[in-house]
């Protein structure tokens, strides 16, 4: 049997949204395979279904049909609790808007996935500090989220996404909300840390500079992923 470590397979994935009488078919019998360590840029028009795809892929939203295998495990055949556990241990998410918890400081936000997984506070804190150092925020550990700039908030979000050493990082327009300089910094970090930690990276982006740093560029078109 082939080595499934780090591998993600999407098999005949369909997803639609029904609003009143209208049915929007967003993903249509989509097939795609991601191998360990691969870096993929996903592009596509606004509203085409890129975020939907990442949510389905990352165990956040059930497809109507089809299967997602994460390291050989058919995730949507599992209980919600088991899916949440796989998400916590194997998948890192980064969104356009950071989705950090505003009432907590930087290091507390980064610790959160580790604490949720049952790792003790001391170890979680040490790991969170290490990751904040990696993203260049050793001087911002105790800052509240609201006291950080947009670029710093995204770097905290990146540290939080990485703390569990996921097999894959899913990033949904991570620099869509940043100015050019901050975008470039976050791109470099994504690329560097991906290389250092040897994880798979799937990034939705309109930024062609970032897309060109990836191994593969695909676009979402008429419900399927096609090479560009
Ligand atoms: N929960 C939902 N209910 C109904 N329609 C939705 C929902 N989420 C997304 N959509 C619609 O599905 C389409 C794809 O959305 P999305 O995946 O967010 O696109 P993208 O990320 O490519 O801009 C859009 O037309 C959006 O309005
Ligand atoms: Mg989107």
pTM of the predicted protein model: 0.94
Q: Give me the residues paired with residue 11 across strands.
A: 67
Q: Domain containing 110: what range?
A: 38-61+79-227
In a domain, 23, yes or no: no
**Nearest atom in ligand 1 to 52's CA:** 17
Cα(7) to ligand 1 centroid in Å equals 26
> In 56-132, where do the E strands start and end?
65-70, 73-74, 91-94
Tell me how far apart the terminal alpha carbons of the chain are, to the nearest angstrom: 31
- Residue to substitute in 15, 20, 47, 221 for testing ligand 1 pocket (most ligand atoms within 8 angstroms of CB): 47
Cα(23) to ligand 2 centroid in Å equals 19
Ligand closest to CA 49: 1
Regions of the chain short of the pLDDT cut 50: 1
**Nearest atom in ligand 1 to 54's CA:** 17
pLDDT digits (tens, 9 = 90+) for 22-76: 999 999 999 999 998 899 999 999 999 999 999 999 999 999 999 999 999 999 9
- Residue to substitute in 24, 42, 204 for testing ligand 1 pocket (most ligand atoms within 8 angstroms of CB): 24
Ligand closest to CA 223: 1
In a domain, 3, yes or no: no
Task: Write the CATH number for 170.
Answer: 3.40.50.300
Burial call 22-48: b when 16+ CB within 10 Å, e when fewer: eeeebbeebebebebbbbbbbbbeeeb
Chain centre distance of CA 160: 11
> What pLDDT, on a 0 to 100 scale, did the predictor assign at position 168?
94
Number of domains in the chain: 1
> What pLDDT, on a 0 to 100 scale, did the predictor assign at position 1?
42
């Amino acid at each position: 049997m082939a080595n499934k470590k780090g591998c993600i397979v999407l098999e005949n994935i369909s997803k639609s949204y029904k609003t009143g009488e209208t049915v929007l078919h967003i993903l249509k019998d989509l097939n795609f395979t991601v191998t360990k360590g691969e870096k993929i840029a996903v592009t596509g028009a606004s509203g085409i279904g890129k975020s939907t795809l990442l949510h389905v892929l990352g165990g956040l939203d059930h497809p109507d049909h089809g299967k997602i295998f994460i390291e050989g495990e058919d995730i949507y055949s599992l209980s919600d609790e088991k899916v949440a556990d796989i998400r916590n241990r194997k998948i890192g998410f980064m969104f356009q808007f950071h989705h950090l918890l505003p009432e907590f400081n930087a290091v507390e936000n980064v610790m959160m996935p580790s604490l949720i997984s049952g790792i003790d506070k001391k170890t979680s804190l040490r790991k969170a500090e290490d990751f904040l150092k990696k993203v260049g925020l050793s001087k911002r550990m105790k800052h509240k989220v609201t006291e950080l700039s947009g670029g710093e908030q995204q770097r905290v979000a990146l540290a939080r996404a990485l703390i569990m050493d996921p097999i894959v990082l899913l990033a949904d327009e991570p620099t869509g909300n940043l100015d050019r300089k901050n975008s470039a910094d976050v791109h470099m970090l994504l690329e560097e840390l991906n290389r250092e930690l040897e994880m798979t990276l799937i990034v939705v982006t309109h930024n062609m500079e970032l897309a060109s740093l990836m191994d593969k560029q695909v676009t979402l078109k008429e419900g399927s992923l096609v090479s560009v």
